[in-house]
């Protein structure tokens, strides 16, 4: 029994290694550009060895997106505080979202953003509920800004704009340029909230 548990733990560890390596490769090369051979090489495996853990490359992509959604939702839930003023809640969500997409090693959500079309419809439908929960947290925060007088207009449009603008940062953000998460968060909040001032 102990041997079985040890082997299972090792398998889970290797599976996690594959998911992390695949996330990096999918982010750098795109889903279509990352081969199973490259994924195997990145974790020091023989070319066919990842198939011991995953039935297909599509299954690896699903695991990457699931992990990104799980981590993102967990971190986001942690900063939602019912008694925070609307602008402070917005600032906390902006900062955590930027950390999810921009910090080193956080390749999962950028993979989802730019490779969602590579998921088949069955997997998209399965993942959409988690994605919808994330969007609902943001929609509540944006509605709070609107109700507090910080934002005018269509709140769904405002949510899509702020998330879209932040998500695009993965294409140009370079940490060595001087901005860190705090300064970037301040810039995002100032930009969006000053539009209604």
Query: Is residue 33 in some structural domain?
Result: no
- The pLDDT tens digits of the residues spanning 156-178 come to 999 999 999 999 998 888 777 77
Q: What are phi and psi of 154, to 5 degrees?
A: -75, 115
Burial of 179 (0-12, 13-18, 19+ CB in 10 A): middle
Query: Is residue 1 in some structural domain?
Result: no
Contacts of 139-148 spanning 24+ positions with Cβ under 8 A: 141/86, 141/89, 141/90, 141/93, 142/90, 144/86, 144/89, 144/90, 145/86, 145/87, 145/90, 145/193, 147/86, 148/85, 148/86, 148/87
Q: Which of 82, 102, 124, 84 lies closest to 183 in space, CA to CA?
A: 102
Which residues form the domain of 174? 56-194
The number of helix segments (H) and strand segments (E) in the chain equals 8, 0
Query: Is residue 8 in some structural domain?
Result: no
Query: Is residue 118 in some structural domain?
Result: yes
Query: Is residue 38 in some structural domain?
Result: no
Domain count within the chain: 1
Query: Is residue 27 in some structural domain?
Result: no
- The pLDDT tens digits of the residues spanning 106-154 come to 888 889 888 899 999 999 998 998 899 999 999 999 999 999 999 888 9
For position 116, which CATH number holds? 1.10.357.10
Token representation of residue 119: 């998921």
């Amino acid at each position: 029994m102990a041997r079985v548990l040890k082997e299972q733990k090792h398998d889970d560890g290797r599976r996690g290694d594959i998911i992390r390596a695949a996330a990096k490769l999918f982010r750098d090369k795109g889903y279509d550009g990352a081969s199973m051979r490259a994924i195997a090489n990145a974790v020091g495996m023989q070319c066919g060895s990842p198939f011991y853990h995953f039935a297909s490359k599509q299954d690896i992509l699903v695991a990457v997106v699931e992990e990104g959604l799980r981590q993102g939702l967990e971190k986001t839930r942690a900063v939602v505080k019912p008694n925070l003023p609307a602008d402070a809640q917005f600032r906390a969500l902006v900062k955590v979202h930027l950390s999810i997409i921009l910090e080193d090693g956080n390749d999962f959500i950028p993979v989802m953003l730019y490779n969602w079309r590579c998921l088949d419809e069955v997997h998209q439908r399965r993942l959409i509920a988690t994605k919808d929960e994330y969007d609902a947290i943001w929609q509540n925060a944006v509605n709070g800004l609107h109700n507090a007088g910080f934002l005018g207009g269509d709140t769904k449009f405002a949510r899509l704009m702020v998330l879209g603008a932040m998500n695009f940062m993965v294409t140009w953000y370079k940490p060595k340029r001087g901005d860190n998460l705090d300064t970037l968060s301040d810039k995002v909040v100032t930009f969006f909230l000053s539009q209604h001032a």
